[in-house]
């Protein structure tokens, strides 16, 4: 299966042209967004329709595609105010950049110098050596309880005192919430009022009001979270501002040097994207299965439940995706959406089509598929952290999972075939039970989810 590439160890699950721009168009929305027909802008309306259909399949609530300053594609309720979740952090990053230029905030200041502490168990002297810049990079080394965390964030929190400040990246709400308090103390303004006066009104946001933000307090920490509600069309303006390096028409809103500094990667996640100053960079890796290839310099804001704002300066492109807060949309289906959008814009070098409709090979079923796989090893994720992953499918229907160049087993269970689907049941790895449609091409097999999207590209090997 020639579209296979050889990303993070996930056992049968994802962890995770002509329109190209040579320079940015000097076009900004006025009171309303300007819209351009796809055909006039050199886009495929048919492929944009495919992107819309995919977003409907994954449960999107709103999508906006902005190319060269005009909306090329838009669907869903783009004027509905809904929670941004962790996209809030990228908004605060912009405000901090403004405050740094005004010398209200010094990135070299330590928590001790700023008088930062928290409730019991309070911070140690070593923890207080963390700087504002460490917090921006999520490298504080402070693993105190934090507010407004997802269960996954809390579960992944390292043990207290396990890493010195500046030495280890962990996506840490304690860092982000504390930055909110640092900003408000330094500027004497609330985050929500400051965002209104410093950014929302200058760029003509149509819907945002300071009352769209609220503080979340609790017993775990003295530093509140600061969630925002925002419409997709207002978020698109913010992304367009960053596309133009903080400049809106003739006015520099966010310092250009800050935009550049804050959207560089200072850390690399295990699942693909890099991390800057409360912005993500690049996209997910393609080691488990093809996703989408984005141009160099791409960065994005990301919030739980499928809240995304992608900025691709190389293509003069912004893509906004919103979804209900309770949804579980992650990078894999979003990668498919981006691939369809980029394909519609005729952008080149976007990676292979990872849909089952485009997969070469054959779909076997029943005993034929079982005979092909029984007694074999499926190897994938060669380029992933801790890879490759090997799944041993024994003839007695037992299965074992191992990882690494010197394979070390980390899970076991059973496997079976149901029609044209390979199913597995693990003791530890989530999801514990799953089935995927198998497409076999020689010594390679692609495993596809029920939406027809490849989740694993594996090689079939003998024991």
Which whole number is the average pLDDT over 81-106?
Answer: 98
Mean of the pLDDT values across residues 115-141? 98
Q: How confident is the model at residue 255 (pLDDT cuts 50, 70, 90)?
A: very high
Token pair of 144, please? 């105190």
The pLDDT assigned to 253 comes to 98
For the stretch 360-398, pLDDT in tens is: 999 999 999 999 999 999 999 998 888 999 999 999 999
The model's pLDDT over 216-244, given as tens digits with 9 standing for 90+, comes to 999 999 999 999 999 999 999 999 999 99
Residue 219's pLDDT is 95
In the structure, what pLDDT confidence band is assigned to residue 150 with cuts at 50, 70 and 90? confident
The C-alpha atoms of residue 71 and residue 264 are separated, in whole angstroms, by 27
| Confidence band, pLDDT 50/70/90 cuts, at residue 307 | very high
- Please, are residues 461 and 377 in contact by the beta-carbon 8 Å criterion? yes
H-helix segments, 244-356: 256-262, 331-344
Q: Is the pTM of this model over 0.85?
A: yes
53 phi/psi in degrees, rounded to 5? -65, -40
Average pLDDT, the chain: 94
User: Which residue has tokens 């017993």?
Assistant: 219
DSSP 361: S
> How confident is the model at residue 120, as a pLDDT?
96
pLDDT above 70 covers a percentage of the chain that reads 95
Q: What pLDDT score does 7 carry? A: 37
- Do residues 234 and 81 make contact, with C-beta atoms less than 8 angstroms apart? no
- pLDDT category, 17, cuts 50, 70, 90? very low
φ and ψ at 400, to 5 degrees?
Answer: -140, 145
Residue 106 has pLDDT above 60, yes or no: yes
Chain Cα centroid distance, residue 460: 30
Which residue shows structure tokens 């838009």? 74
Which whole number is the average pLDDT over 63-82?
98
Mean pLDDT, to the nearest integer, of 195-216?
A: 98
Are 337 and 51 within 8 A, CB to CB? yes
pLDDT tops 60 at residue 6:
no
Query: Quick check: 5 pLDDT over 60?
Result: no
Give the residue-averaged pLDDT of 30-36: 97
pLDDT score for 14: 33
Find the mean pLDDT for residues 288-304. Answer: 96
pLDDT tens-digit series, residues 340-360: 999 999 999 999 999 999 999
Residue 22: per-residue pLDDT: 57
109: pLDDT strictly greater than 70: yes
Average pLDDT over residues 164-185: 98
pLDDT for 9:
37
pLDDT at 151 over 90: no
């Amino acid at each position: 299966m020639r579209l296979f590439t050889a990303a993070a160890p996930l056992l049968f699950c994802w962890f995770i042209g002509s329109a190209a721009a040579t320079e940015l168009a000097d076009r900004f929305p006025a009171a309303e967004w300007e819209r351009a027909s796809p055909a006039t802008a050199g886009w495929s309306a048919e492929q944009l329709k495919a992107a819309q259909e995919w977003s409907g399949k994954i449960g999107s609530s709103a999508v906006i595609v902005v190319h060269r300053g005009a909306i090329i594609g838009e669907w869903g309720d783009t004027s509905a105010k809904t929670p941004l979740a962790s996209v809030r952090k990228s908004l605060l990053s912009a405000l901090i950049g403004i405050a740094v230029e005004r010398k209200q905030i010094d990135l070299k200041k330590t928590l001790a110098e700023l008088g930062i502490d928290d409730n019991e168990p309070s911070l140690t002297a070593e923890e207080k050596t963390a700087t504002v810049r460490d917090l921006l990079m999520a490298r504080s080394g402070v693993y105190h309880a934090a507010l407004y965390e997802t269960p996954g964030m809390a579960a992944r929190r390292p043990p207290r005192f396990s890493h010195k400040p500046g030495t280890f990246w962990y996506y840490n709400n304690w860092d982000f919430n504390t930055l909110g308090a640092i900003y408000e103390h330094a500027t004497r303004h609330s985050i929500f009022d400051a965002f209104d006066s410093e950014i929302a009104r200058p760029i003509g946001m149509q819907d945002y009001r300071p009352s769209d933000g609220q503080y979340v307090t609790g017993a775990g920490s003295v530093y509140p979270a600061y969630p925002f509600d925002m419409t997709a069309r207002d978020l698109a303006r913010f992304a367009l501002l960053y596309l133009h390096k903080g400049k809106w028409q003739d006015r520099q809103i966010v310092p250009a040097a800050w935009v550049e500094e804050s959207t560089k990667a200072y850390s690399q996640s295990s699942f693909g994207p890099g991390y800057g100053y409360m912005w993500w960079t690049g996209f997910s890796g393609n080691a488990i299965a093809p996703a989408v290839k984005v141009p160099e310099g791409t960065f994005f804001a990301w919030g739980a439940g499928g809240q995304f704002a992608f900025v691709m300066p190389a293509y003069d492109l912004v893509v906004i995706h919103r979804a209900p807060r309770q949804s579980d949309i992650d990078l894999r289906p979003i990668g498919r959406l981006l691939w369809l959008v980029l394909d519609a814009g005729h952008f080149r070098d976007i990676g292979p089509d990872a849909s089952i409709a485009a997969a070469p090979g054959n779909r076997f079923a029943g005993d034929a598929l079982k005979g092909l796989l029984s007694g074999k090893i499926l190897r994938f994720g060669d380029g992933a952290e801790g890879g490759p992953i090997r799944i041993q499918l024994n003839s007695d229907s037992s299965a074992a999972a191992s990882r690494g160049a010197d394979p070390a087993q980390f899970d076991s269970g059973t496997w079976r075939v149901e029609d044209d689907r390979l199913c597995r049941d693990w003791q530890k790895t989530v999801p514990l039970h799953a089935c995927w449609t198998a497409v076999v091409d020689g010594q390679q097999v692609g495993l596809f989810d029920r939406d027809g999207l490849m989740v694993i590209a594996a090689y079939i090997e003998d024991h």
